[in-house]
Amino acid sequence: MSKLRIAIQKSGRLNQDSLQILKDCGISIDNGKEQLKATASNFPLEVFYLRNGDIPQYLRDGVVDIAIIGENVLIEKGEDIGIVEKLGFSKCKVSLAIPKGEVYQDVNYFNGKKIATSYPNTVQKYLLNKGVNTQIHIINGSVEIAPNIGLADGICDIVSSGSTLFKNNLKEVELLLNSEAVLAVSPTISENKQQILDRLQFRIQAVLKGRNSKYVLLNAPNNKLEEIINVVPGMKSPTVLPLAKEGWSSVHSVIPKNQFWEIIDLLKEKGAEGILVCPIEKMVR
């Protein structure tokens, strides 16, 4: 039986998050130390551990069928490669930064300046669209030091917390793009492999919906029931069960994680009591 070949980052946070989502999908992978390839024991999947920057070419050439990769890497090296799912983890920004002491008004600051980056295509495309001409110094590695040693006037790099910029006396001045981990697919994927991908994507979607939702149980006075139901509509509609105490009902529903506190505040305002909130492991539609 043919196996779907997936590439993930060889090491680092994206590697850990990628393996975690596969684990949450019920896929068991034997990860031996320093392995470059591993096979799932309970799903037709082979995992290839590759350098992040090499993954777009492996997808393009059909060496792997799919990959979990940072969207920023695809924008830089693989705009021709399709994305089938945004995964919601390993979020970051790609931004321009300059020394803290510099005065910055707009992107025209970079006209004629030198920028150090490992994202030359992204920088050039962004700045040319703004009518700004720059000199690009390609650096693979720690670009933050470039302004301090006189190699460049500014940098373009990934920004997560901003602590690395702060330590190098730099400030973020221009956001080029927001990025997160995505599931990318080879343009040469076969029909047979596509069917396996469909199965995997179904599981991933169930995991992501679970991560982005909370299960809520509450007690509601019957005279406020309609108002409370309007706050928590659920996947189709909430489950409502009568309580032993006359005039009260138990309401069970699903709410979006990113609106959790706003919804809880509304429920309390409308008379809900005994609100219990539980995490959802997976949510299958």
Is the per-residue pLDDT at 234 higher than 70? no
Query: What confidence score (pLDDT) does residue 9 get?
Result: 93
pLDDT band at 152 (very low <50, low <70, confident <90, very high): very high
Query: What confidence score (pLDDT) does residue 12 get?
Result: 81
Is the per-residue pLDDT at 204 higher than 90? yes
CATH superfamily of the 92-179 domain: Periplasmic binding protein-like II (3.40.190.10)
Average pLDDT over residues 17-26: 94
CATH class belonging to 213-279: alpha beta
Dihedral sign (CA 17, 18, 19, 24): positive
Mind listing the pLDDT tens digit for each residue in 69-106? 999 999 999 888 999 999 999 999 999 999 999 999 99
φ/ψ bin of 34: left (φ > 0), alpha (ψ from -120 to 50), beta (otherwise): left
Q: Spell out a b/e string for 210-230, using b for 16 or more CB atoms within 10 Å of the CB, else e.
A: bbebbbbbbbbeeebbeebbe
Residue of 118 and 13 predicted with greater confidence = 118
Its pTM stands at 0.85
pLDDT band at 13 (very low <50, low <70, confident <90, very high): confident
What residues contact residue 111 under an 8 Å CB cut-off, 6+ apart? 132, 133, 134
**Residue 54 burial (CB count, 10 A):** 14
The domain spans of the chain are: 4-90+180-210, 92-179, 213-279
Mind listing the pLDDT tens digit for each residue in 35-70? 789 999 999 999 999 998 899 999 999 999 999 999
Q: What is the CATH number of domain 4-90+180-210?
A: 3.40.190.10
Query: What confidence score (pLDDT) does residue 97 get?
Result: 95
Is the per-residue pLDDT at 162 higher than 70? yes
* Among 236, 239, 275, 233, CA closest to 255: 233
Integer Cα distance of 219 and 222 in angstroms: 9
Integer Cα distance of 93 and 172 in angstroms: 10
- 248, amino acid identity: W
Q: Which phi and psi angles does 274 have, rounded to 5°?
A: 55, 45
**Among the ranges 22-31, 56-65, 152-161, which has the highest mean pLDDT value?**
56-65
**92-179 and 213-279: identical CATH topology:** no
Q: What angle do CA 264, 268, 269 make, to 5 degrees?
A: 115
Q: Which two tokens stand for residue 250?
A: 């138990």
Is the per-residue pLDDT at 285 higher than 70? yes
- 285, amino acid identity: R
Average pLDDT value over all residues in the chain: 91
Query: What confidence score (pLDDT) does residue 36 get?
Result: 87
Lowest mean pLDDT among 39-48, 156-165, 215-224: 156-165
- 21, amino acid identity: I
Cα separation values, 75 from 58, 119, 261, Å = 15, 9, 35
Is the per-residue pLDDT at 178 higher than 90? yes
